[in-house]
Amino acid sequence: MTVKSDVVVIGGGVIGSSIALQMASAGLTVTVVERDSIGNHASGFALGLLNPTNETGKIESLNHESYLMHRDQLERIQDESGVDAQVRITPHLELALTEEDLPELRAEVDRINQFDAFHAEGLSPEDVIKAEPRITEENFGGVLVESVFMLDSYNYTLAVAQVAEKRGVSFVTSTVRDLSWNKSAISKVVTDQEEYVCGSVIFAMGPWTGTAGVWLDVDIPIVPQKGEIVRVAGFDKPLNHHLHGFHLNSSCSVVQKGDDQVWLAATKQDGTGFDTSPSSEALESLTLRRLRMIPALEEQEVILQTACLRPVSPDGDPILGRVPGKEGAFIATGTGGKGILLAPLVGRAIADLVATGVTEFDIGQFGLDRFA
């Protein structure tokens, strides 16, 4: 059976669903093809931290712009979908756990205070204990960021998808088998159930986006990075901060979330392929990190350990925009551990390119052609 759709989005994670929502809002007919269920991979297992202050580099300004979009949209997305994304506004506390970390951590105060949406201040070791008495006394101070957002990533992804569906987006569970072209322009997406005649296709397949290079005859340098999170029983008196160990053996987050469990996040493992089985090594690593930060967590029972795959590019930045030489083909991947944070901006930027050919957001430097 042949179905007509202005746009086909391949991938139903938070990035694909956000793009679909924005394109439907622009009046386009949109079909999202997802081989599994919505939010079944990294989008559904991410920590759900919306904090643009903890990353510098080329992506920093986009992180902040997308954060502001989240701030403006979160309540509406939840209201329209009827899904509680468990949004909490919480202070963020970066901990110095070695004396060597202090100079770099102190420099963060001035950098963060350059952004209007945030206020940061340095804390002495004594101030850290006053803020949260369960933090180890063997700390060397910290930086307190007044407030960041924490949400449930699965619920948020589901909420975005449901709003998109209300605006006419069709979500189908199927596997893409091939693409058809009219010279260099996309004409059809072939799945194992239907054929979709379309004018544009967006590849938002997370760590699997590299396989689309076979259909596009281009190299898409995306590989999976395994990330694991451990959840333990929460405290009766909840932790009121998102705690992050600055340079603590590749860092660690400790936060008591809306489900009342304490989440320990997250490992980063390269070279594991598409393996999503939880590992004893990650459990041990996250256990050691949590005890270094919050010794009282030794008494808390492990509830769940999850593993997912993040899409990462060779330079660590996302790949966004047109596929060179392929009319109507667009790509949105490589967001690593920032997919939830970047979703509103990526959704709007790609939708703009499809609908009007231009976007106000500075994504040109993140094109696929930089790897040519």
Tens digit of pLDDT for each residue in 3-57? 999 999 999 999 999 999 999 999 999 999 999 999 889 999 999 999 999 989 9
Q: What is the mean pLDDT of the chain?
A: 96
Per-residue model confidence (pLDDT) at position 372: 83
Please tell me the predicted confidence (pLDDT) of residue 50: 98
- Report d(CA 109, CA 104) in Å as an integer: 10
CA-closest candidate to residue 332, choices 239, 252, 222: 222
Pairing of strands 7-10, 30-34: parallel
The CA-atom distances, in angstroms, between 245 and each of 90, 222, 264, 288, 302 are 16, 28, 11, 12, 20
Q: Which long-range contacts (CB under 8 A, 24 or more apart) does 214-220 make?
A: 215/178, 215/179, 216/179, 216/323, 216/326, 216/329, 218/323, 218/324, 218/325, 218/326, 218/368, 219/371, 220/319, 220/331, 220/333, 220/368
Question: What is the chain's Cα-based Rg?
Answer: 21
| Selection from 60, 67, 5, 58 nearest residue 33 by Cα | 5
Confidence band for 247, pLDDT divided at 50, 70 and 90: confident
| Contact (Cβ atoms closer than 8 angstroms) between residue 32 and residue 170 | yes
In one-letter notation, the amino acid at residue 118 is F
Task: Copy the structure tokens of residue 84.
Answer: 């509680």
Domains and CATH numbers, the chain: 2-45+155-222+314-371 (3.50.50.60), 88-147+224-311 (3.30.9.10)
Phi-psi region of 214 (alpha: psi -120 to 50; beta: other; left: phi over 0): alpha
**Which residues, 6 or more positions from 55, have their beta carbon under 8 angstroms from its beta carbon?**
63, 338
pLDDT tens, residue by residue, 189-209: 999 999 999 999 999 999 999
CB contact at 8 A, 287 and 315: no
Q: Please name the residues in contact with 157: beta carbons below 8 A apart, sequence gap of 6 or more.
A: 13, 14, 17, 38, 39, 43, 44, 340
Query: What one-letter code names the amino acid at 94?
Result: E
Residue 248 scores a pLDDT above 90: no
Which percentage of the chain shows pLDDT scores above 90? 94
Confidence of residue 294 (pLDDT cuts 50, 70, 90): very high
Tell me, what's the pLDDT at 328?
Answer: 97
pLDDT, one tens digit per residue, over 140-149 is 999 999 999 9
- Looking at the predicted structure, is the pLDDT value of residue 271 above 70? yes
Mean pLDDT, rounded, for 129-147:
96
- Tell whether the model's pLDDT for residue 163 goes beyond 90: yes
DSSP letter at 209?
G
Whether omega before 85 lies within 30 degrees of 0, making that bond cis, reads no
Under the banding of pLDDT at 50, 70 and 90, the label for residue 166 is very high
Please return the burial class of 27, using the count of CB atoms within 10 Å of its CB with bins 0-12, 13-18 and 19+: exposed
Round to whole Å and give the CA distance between 267 and 277: 13
Tokens of 85: 């994304």
